[in-house]
Chains A and B, each alone.
Chain A
Amino acid sequence: DVQMTQSPSNLAASPGESVSINCKASKSISKYLAWYQQKPGKANKLLIYSGSTLQSGTPSRFSGSGSGTDFTLTIRNLEPEDFGLYYCQQHNEYPWTFGGGTKLELK
């Protein structure tokens, strides 16, 4: 199985700031990485797939980059609704696997 390692586990920031969340795969997954947002009381939301393709409805302040084993989710100009849990998931090979999550908290 492809192991996905996310960092940091926790991140504190203020509205208006920019943050980056990293995801590292144990082997090359080409560009095939997705990012999700989880917030209490809401269905999980797909943000980005194939490394950098924004899902319809994802605000342009979100961006994804990387290929091979190293990927980054960047959120520019944080909005209050951006705080929550973020997960990466590789979709290069079965079984699909997730990172351990990053909790983005209000500073």
Chain B
Amino acid sequence: EVQLVESGGGLVQPGASLKLSCVASGFTFSDYWMSWVRQTPGKTMEWIGDIKYDGSYTNYAPSLKNRFTISRDNAKSTLYLQMSNVRSEDTATYYCTRDDGTYYEGHWFAYWGQGTLVTVSS
């Protein structure tokens, strides 16, 4: 059974940094692209970025590219999201996803974690 378990969320002050983790199990982690997606309190869903199966390539939503960094450790089956200079508008539930698809078909999000809530407030 595919499982994705996020952690690292919580209350953080504006301007601070935070690193989220996602531990994967039930599939060969190093075979799949992975993404981070967030959902605001108003239920808007936003893709943050993804990382290639070997960690050699990343893509980001243009609006988040300068502050968020995605990485992975295939030996630990763990995906990371480093968030810097956080703002109130980053308050959201953050999900990691396993991506399916191909270069030609694009990526859809076949499996999701339960999410971790990040609240940015002073």
CB pair B105–A50 under 8 Å, yes or no, is yes
Interface size on B, residues (CB 8 A): 24
- Taking the closest CB of chain A, its distance from the CB of B47, in whole angstroms, is 4
Q: B residues within 8 A CB of A44?
A: 95, 109, 112
Which one of A50, A87, A90, A94 has the greatest number of beta carbons of chain B within 10 Å?
A94
Closest to A90 in B: B106
- Taking the closest CB of chain B, its distance from the CB of A47, in whole angstroms, is 10
CB pair A49–B114 under 8 Å, yes or no, is no
Chain B facing A: main interface SS: strand
CB pair A43–B113 under 8 Å, yes or no, is yes
Q: A residues within 8 A CB of B43?
A: 85, 100-101
Tally A-B pairs: CB < 8 A.
Answer: 58
From B45, B101, B112, B114, contact of A101 by CB (8 A):
B45
Interface size on A, residues (CB 8 A): 25
A34 at the interface (CB under 8 A from B): yes
Q: A residues within 8 A CB of B46?
A: 98
A17 at the interface (CB under 8 A from B): no
- Taking the closest CB of chain A, its distance from the CB of B35, in whole angstroms, is 8
CB pair A94–B45 under 8 Å, yes or no, is no
B100 at the interface (CB under 8 A from A): yes
- Taking the closest CB of chain B, its distance from the CB of A69, in whole angstroms, is 16
- Taking the closest CB of chain A, its distance from the CB of B24, in whole angstroms, is 13
From B62, B109, B113, contact of A89 by CB (8 A):
B109
- Taking the closest CB of chain B, its distance from the CB of A87, in whole angstroms, is 6
22 contacts between A and B (CB under 8 A): A1-B62, A32-B105, A32-B106, A43-B111, A43-B114, A44-B95, A44-B109, A85-B43, A89-B45, A89-B47, A89-B109, A90-B106, A91-B107, A92-B106, A95-B60, A96-B35, A96-B106, A97-B47, A98-B45, A100-B43, A101-B43, A101-B45
